[in-house]
Chains A and B, each alone.
Chain A
Amino acid sequence: MLKASDINLYIDGRQFLKVGNITVEPGRIVTLLGPSGSGKSTFLRSIAGLNDSKVTMTGHVSLEKLDLMPLPAHLRRVGYLDQRPTLFPHMSVAQNLAFGQRKPNPEELNRALVTSGMNDKRDHDVASLSGGEAARIALMRMLLSAPKAMLLDEPFAALDPQLRSKIRGFIFDQVRTRQLPVLLVTHDEEDAKAAGGEIYGIKNQEVAREA
């Protein structure tokens, strides 16, 4: 279970977002809905510990009762995906996936390639992948790193409408199968509905539950 409470976010010492209480149960996808620039991505990155030093966060964030706040980002076990799938250009498809593994495990890697439909492209250059393929690899790589929660930062925003619902279905299926608590940030109500979990909105720089 991922839990965030009494969160205040500051940029250069100026408060810009307040979050009361958000709890995400395993296997649930909770959505934070809000317009661009409202600070929802910064909130997500702060949970993962990925913000730069200009952003500070106070409050409590825990994952499976473990306090995340004092932990360095790479030890939090919180997966993070943003709207542009970031694949490392010097690695092949398979190497990108392997980079996510904590310990080498060829069988698991093969399964990930099959699941993402990329088994025949394991040695391909990532620059040759389509947007949908890159998104699938980025997700599978994140899952191979065995996260205990997932943060999805508008991961479908850069995809065209047809691909969007396909990739959305793929990602949601994968995280639900693994019973991960997922916090999704989006400005698209369709994504929020498809997620099926609670929906939070941002009004007057404050996060409040909508549905």
Chain B
Amino acid sequence: MDTLARTAVIAALLIVGFVIGFPLLLGLWQSLYGGLPYLSNVFDSAGLFKSAFTALMSSALALFSAVGLAAIFQGKQRALTWISLPLLAIPHAAIAQAISLLFGPSSFTIRLLSPWATGYTSTPNNWLWDQHPDGWTLIIVLAMKELPFFLILIYNLSSSLPLSAWQRGSTSLGYSRVTGWWHIVLPVILRRLWLPLCLVIIFCLSVVDVPALVGPNLTKTFAHQMYQNWINDTPQGEVLASGVLLLGLSIITIAISAAIFKLYYLYLRFKRHFVRGLPALILPWLGASLGLLLMGTALVSLALLPVQSVLETSGHRVPFPQIWMGKIGLNGWMEALKVGIPTLPTTLLIGALTSSISLLIALWLLVLEKSYGHQRWLETVLMIPLLVPQMAFLAGGAFLGIRLGLIPNHGILMATWFHLLFVLPYIFLIIAPTYRGIDLSFRRTATALGHNWWSIFFRVELPILFRPLVFAFAWGLAVSMALYLPTFFATSGRLETLLTAGLTQLAGKGDNIRAVWGLMLLMLPVFCFLAAYGLASWQASGRKGLRGG
């Protein structure tokens, strides 16, 4: 690598420090410094407990279901991946919106089932499932969204294991396919799933847009309450103190999950009897059944959105259990698009800027890695924003930004910066395995042909990486579009993206308008992935060696 390239990769290191380290550390410092004296003012044990409960339950449910599906449906990886990927790509808010419509007391589905199946002849008054006060709707939505994440991770981890050999061994000892997987593969995989589980728990603790749509509303989750406090102009010290408490809660929740894992592995160490036959199938089938139920419900709720979006007089204005009054139309679309379309340029601009910058940094880091070896600490630094609850440093960062005059005056810039914290780690994780996996002989051969470092990078490596790069770009766009809190804090709520506008527009609206918003949130990332697929296919047309690369 020549001097220019060396300078470039060192610059990348500095940029990572600036992009990730600067806002993270300053935001955390601001939260601790400004919030610690007010801790006792914001201690809300009910909200804290509810947050821990919903985060742990949803993560555990998602993991258990994913493990069950992977065990029962071995060999059906392709089909399950195809179902998982769209669910993984769409924003949490889209599923939350769809579930809220599906589970609503006066919803299309309840009406379809009434009175013949439910017995309801009028809208049920004590119906809880659209915004369950104990947080069960939230748990279900979060589990639906995180299940595909775990499932795809399990498949990726499995690909590096000698599964066939293990299976031959366990089958010859008399274990069925499923039981063998449960006894042999699961303990190996589960150990590597702890860190992703932590990421999911932290996310579930911090999430605000989902509880805003599906509750719980009487005793809110702690993050949701903190967000409400910010909106309601609660004193700054108290908001920051809530961030500190949330950080403490995250540490405790992670410690609980670590203890559960430790106990499981302790149990495995002293286990002397390996269950066979039918009893051994109970847990895998239970997990798989829950998984199918979660994924199926999510897909049904999403598939119903287009129908609900054109039922003009759906929802509360139609006598229960009548579904519609014979009117189908696009009024819901007109009303929602009027507000939604103007937000698209901002949404796409922030997403495109974030994804492009993330791709550049990730590529630079990978080049650096190739020259100076695998830097594990660098990956850890990149992951930190995902391992700390967003509220804990975003609130601090936002207060600091306001004091420095950056927020809300430089909305796009600050939103891009805050989004980078969460998009960069994902983009790095997506392209790193492919970049590391580029056949060394490509570089060797091109060098022997007289090409220098830059020529090889641009003319050989980048075209070979084109497919993962465009998919990573689309993924970055999808992640950026789904970021609610970073957008909100970076702009003091003054810059509207599709997601932030959607959340503010939904209150009190008819089911058809809510369905359109759900669809818009769903379709935008889907369009991005379709565009990525189209571009990648165009580049790979007539080039068999590039497909699937």
Contact = CB atoms under 8 A, between A and B. Distances in A.
Tell me whether A and B are bound partners: yes
A100 B441 contact: no
A133 to B, nearest CB: 14
Interface stretch (A11-19, A70-78, A192-200): A70-78
Given A89-B545, A89-B549, A99 B449 contact: yes
Contact of B452 (A45, A74, A125): A74
B441 A74 contact: no
Interface string A80-102: 10101010111010000001101
Interface string B447-475: 11111110000011001101000000000
Contacts of A92: 542
Interface in A127-146: 127-128, 138, 141-142, 145
Contacts of A77: 450
A55 to B, nearest CB: 13
Given A89-B543, A90-B463, A84 B441 contact: yes
B444 interface: yes
A145 B447 CA distance: 11
Contact of A75 (B450, B539, B545): B450
Nearest to B1: A72
A2 to B, nearest CB: 14
A33 interface: no
A84 to B, nearest CB: 7
A50 interface: yes
Nearest to B440: A52
A162 B466 CA distance: 38
A73 B448 contact: yes
Contacts of B544: 89, 125, 127-128
* Most chain B beta carbons < 10 A, residue from A45, A72, A84, A90: A90
B542 A125 contact: yes
Q: Which of A48, A77, A127 has the most CB of B within 10 A?
A: A127
Contact of B439 (A72, A78, A86): A86
Given A74-B450, A74-B452, A90 B445 contact: no
Interface residues on A, range: 20 to 34
B190 interface: no
Interface string B388-429: 000000000000000000000000000000000000000000
A78 B341 CA distance: 59
A70 B548 CA distance: 39
B546 interface: yes
Nearest to A89: B545
A182 interface: no
B120 interface: no
Nearest to A124: B542
A79 B445 CA distance: 9
B442 interface: yes
A195 B67 CA distance: 58
B366 to A, nearest CB: 16
Contacts of A49: 447
Contacts of B542: 92, 125
A102 B451 CA distance: 9
A49 B451 CA distance: 13
B466 A90 contact: yes
Interface string B60-83: 000000000000000000000000
Contacts of B549: 89
12 contacts: A48-B447, A50-B448, A74-B450, A74-B453, A79-B449, A80-B448, A90-B464, A90-B545, A99-B451, A127-B545, A128-B544, A142-B448
Interface of B: 2, 439, 441-442, 444-453, 459-460, 463-464, 466, 539, 542-546, 549
